[in-house]
Chains A and B, each alone.
Chain A
Amino acid sequence: MTWQFLLDQFAAQFALWWVVWLGILLGIVVGILPGFSPQNTLIMLLPLTLAVPVEQALAFMVALYCANHLAGGVPAILMRIPGSGGAAATTLDGYPMARKGQAQQAIVLSFTASVFGGLITTLATIALLPWLSKLGLYLRSVEMVIIMLFGLTLIAVIAAKDTLKGLISGFFGLLIGVVGTDHVYSEPRATMGFLELYDGVPLVAALIGLFAVSEALVMIEEKMIVEDDARERAMQASWADTIEGLRITVQKWWHIVWTAFIGLFIGIVPGAGASIAAFVAYQQSRMWSKHPELYGTGIPEGVIAPESANNGVTSGTLVPMMALGVPGGSTAAVMMIVLQYHGMVMGPRLFSTNPGLAYGVFVSMAVAYIFMIITILPLARFMARIVLIETKYLVPIILLVTIVAAFSERQYAFDMGLALVFGVIGYIAHKTNYHVTAMLVGVILGPLFEQYLVRALRISEGDLTVLFTSPVGNALWALLVFSLLVPLARSWWQHRASRSSPPQP
């Protein structure tokens, strides 16, 4: 791969600007709608993507995919309704920022973290593709069990304010995540006789219920989303707030870089996705922060970490597809169908037989991110005004449109009813301070954790020591233990320091 080759690739992708823009606009619209995933949109648009030339189809799909990941953070920040599982962790600090009248800064941070996180990891992927494609081979079920545990420790982090309630929420979510057929014998478990639950609890219905429906039911108590004392500030928001968001982005550039790489590495593993990456990045960001106690109160790092990571995933997911012929996620699988229809054979040979297309995917992604920042940044100011709309108009829209979106994932009316049930549970949890995010962490990661654990145990014929047999796994174990000990050590140290310091007069 030469510089000239790369420049030609970039020029070719820039020439498809209109396709990229179309993908970005549609990706943003469906990304803002909770539950409407990129793979659903791409499946519905298959007749279009199969009909146009492969380069255009690819540019459109990649742009839509990246924009979808970016846009999920918008409703998470403005209404505490994540557009996708990958944006669920964004609600933890994004929504408190919006309530404090800093919606515009939060949205700008979300956009810049997403775009720069996505762009950096895409460029890194282009440069390191041969090595990155091998990384997926080292991360097997044993290592994935430990990566899942990283995500699950977020339950303990969320539970910090009321440990018992947080843990009950998390474990309730984990148990809900067990519903469905098991991974070995396909025996249905706790499905209550509903065939619709054989594949497990649909994540979109849980997400919409726990966040959107429950939040709408709570929201009616207030006139607007923004707090009364921050209303004045939100009303006076101007371009200066966009610039303030950009200033914070520059200040926190390193935070964007390292959390984006968490997303990239997790994205490379087939089956892992943006939700895990975002939760792990948030947990790691909090752990390494000098002020972990501020997380959850509305701080920029709490928005940057999950948003940067869930866009870092976008390029990672495509690595195993292009290099090994194994799709890293469901969106990648749909893209693979389109590429195969056009006669492309994925795998190592693609780089020698059609390097233009192989690298073109990632160049197309980089171009999409460049276009995205130009397109979406000016919109932050106008999007932020949603927090000033009276809730009596917002609540019916949120309730019914998100319930409609619950249908779109699997096209079962059952999922809409399930979202409503989760909504009522989420509302009760909300009013009694049981954290719905902890519940969602359990629902998302529970089935994945079980899947990898059972797979590892099947390979080892039930021997639990398999979890400690791989060098990469052992390094991850050490890091996990270290992650858990750091906060404890830090609080002990602070406690000791406060005891030894002389009392204030």
Chain B
Amino acid sequence: MQKESRALGADLVIPALALAFAVYFFFSTADLVWEAKANGVIIGTALVILIAFQVGRVALRIMRGEGGLGLDPIWQPREMAWKRVGLVAITALFIAAMPWLGLTLALWLGMAAQLWIIGVRRKKILFWLPTATAASVYALFIAVLDSGFPHGPVEDLLAPLLAMVSR
């Protein structure tokens, strides 16, 4: 019977990120006084040692033929991978567009786009779910709490109404 080959490379992604950050920490704090860097250096050193153990453990398993350096667990299931990338990209676009579009409109557009990406095709849901969410967020964060979210066309349009209600 053939042994199942595991994608062990995925187990090294978090250690790689942690190592990169630890190295950056060591270099960026090299010139600081000891009180400022002592805690980070101790934690970072322990982290590097732990990562070395993990790399050794993965290397040993690869040498034993238990798996390869694939990243499959991160991408699988494959049919979801592009949906995930799409969701992250739309979230990033939402963050970037919010200062221009304002909270309510950016949220409405972002949510409609995400619903579509994820596979929702019913027009009623594509319209009403973002509308209900954006309206609730507007009501809580802008109308009730008056927090500092960016204002856009929707907020500007509703401002006189809000002023009238609060009077």
Docked Cα-Cα span, A451 to B110, in Å, equals 40
Contact between chains at B111 and A397 (CB < 8 Å): yes
Interface residues of A in 442-501 (CB under 8 A from B): 446, 449-450, 453-454, 457-458
Does B22 interact with chain A (Cβ within 8 Å)?
yes
CB neighbours of B140 from chain A (8 A): 29-30
The verdict on A171 contacting B32 (CB below 8 Å), with A178-B25, A400-B111, A413-B95 known, is no
Q: Which residue of A lies closest to B75 (CB)?
A: A431
Contact between chains at A175 and B95 (CB < 8 Å): no
Docked Cα-Cα span, A168 to B15, in Å, equals 7
Interface residues of B in 11-49 (CB under 8 A from A): 11, 13-15, 17-18, 21-22, 24-25, 28-29, 32-33, 35-37, 39-40, 43-44, 46-47
Docked Cα-Cα span, A403 to B137, in Å, equals 12
Docked Cα-Cα span, A432 to B22, in Å, equals 20
Docked Cα-Cα span, A392 to B88, in Å, equals 15
In the complex, the 9 A-B pairs of residues with the closest C-beta atoms, listed nearest first: A396-B114, A182-B36, A178-B40, A171-B47, A172-B18, A411-B148, A187-B36, A450-B39, A44-B145
Contact between chains at B14 and A190 (CB < 8 Å): no
The residue that B95 contacts in the complex, of A174, A401, A403, A431, with Cβ under 8 A, is A403
The residue that A178 contacts in the complex, of B39, B87, B147, with Cβ under 8 A, is B39
The residue that A171 contacts in the complex, of B13, B35, B43, with Cβ under 8 A, is B43
Does A425 interact with chain B (Cβ within 8 Å)?
yes
Q: List 28 A-B contacts (CB under 8 A).
A: A30-B140, A45-B145, A168-B18, A168-B47, A169-B14, A171-B18, A171-B43, A175-B21, A175-B40, A187-B36, A190-B24, A192-B24, A220-B83, A220-B87, A221-B80, A392-B115, A392-B119, A396-B87, A396-B111, A400-B133, A408-B141, A411-B148, A416-B98, A420-B92, A420-B95, A425-B14, A449-B39, A458-B35
Docked Cα-Cα span, A399 to B90, in Å, equals 10
Does B107 interact with chain A (Cβ within 8 Å)?
yes
Docked Cα-Cα span, A185 to B35, in Å, equals 8
Interface residues on A, range: 35 or more
**C-beta contact mask, B55-70 vs A, less than 8 Å → 1, else 0?**
0010000000000000
Chain B: residues with Cβ within 8 Å of the partner, total of: 64
Docked Cα-Cα span, A182 to B40, in Å, equals 10
The verdict on A217 contacting B84 (CB below 8 Å), with A168-B14, A185-B35, A395-B118 known, is yes
The residue that A165 contacts in the complex, of B54, B84, B88, B91, with Cβ under 8 A, is B54
Identify whether the interface residues of B are mostly helix, strand, loop, or mixed.
helix
The verdict on A393 contacting B129 (CB below 8 Å), with A45-B145, A220-B118 known, is yes
Contact between chains at B51 and A432 (CB < 8 Å): no
Contact between chains at A392 and B120 (CB < 8 Å): yes
Docked Cα-Cα span, A45 to B144, in Å, equals 9
Contact between chains at A221 and B36 (CB < 8 Å): no
Contact between chains at A393 and B73 (CB < 8 Å): no
Docked Cα-Cα span, A457 to B39, in Å, equals 12
**C-beta contact mask, A414-443 vs B, less than 8 Å → 1, else 0?**
001100100111011101101000000000
Q: B residues touching A (Cβ–Cβ < 8 Å)?
A: 10-11, 13-15, 17-18, 21-22, 24-25, 28-29, 32-33, 35-37, 39-40, 43-44, 46-47, 50-51, 53-54, 57, 73-74, 77, 80, 83-84, 87-88, 91-92, 94-95, 98-99, 103, 107, 110-111, 114-115, 118-120, 125, 129, 133, 137, 140-141, 145-150
Total A-B pairs, Cβ < 8 A: 178
CB neighbours of B36 from chain A (8 A): 182, 184-185, 187, 189
CB neighbours of A431 from chain B (8 A): 10, 73-74
Contact between chains at B118 and A416 (CB < 8 Å): no
Contact between chains at B133 and A168 (CB < 8 Å): no
Docked Cα-Cα span, A213 to B111, in Å, equals 14
Docked Cα-Cα span, A104 to B36, in Å, equals 47
**C-beta contact mask, A232-276 vs B, less than 8 Å → 1, else 0?**
000000000000000000000000000000000000000000000
B142 CB → nearest A CB, Å: 11
CB neighbours of B47 from chain A (8 A): 168, 171-172, 174-175
Q: Which residue of B lies closest to A412 (CB)?
A: B148
Does A294 interact with chain B (Cβ within 8 Å)?
no
Q: Which residue of B lies closest to A450 (CB)?
A: B39
Docked Cα-Cα span, A421 to B40, in Å, equals 21
Contact between chains at B114 and A399 (CB < 8 Å): yes
CB neighbours of B94 from chain A (8 A): 400, 403
Q: Which residue of A lies closest to B119 (CB)?
A: A392
Q: Which residue of B lies closest to A417 (CB)?
A: B95
Contact between chains at B114 and A432 (CB < 8 Å): no
Docked Cα-Cα span, A399 to B89, in Å, equals 12
Q: Which residue of B lies closest to A216 (CB)?
A: B87
Does A132 interact with chain B (Cβ within 8 Å)?
no
CB neighbours of A427 from chain B (8 A): 84
Contact between chains at A399 and B95 (CB < 8 Å): no
A294 CB → nearest B CB, Å: 27
CB neighbours of A401 from chain B (8 A): 107, 133, 137
**C-beta contact mask, A3-29 vs B, less than 8 Å → 1, else 0?**
000000000000000000000000001
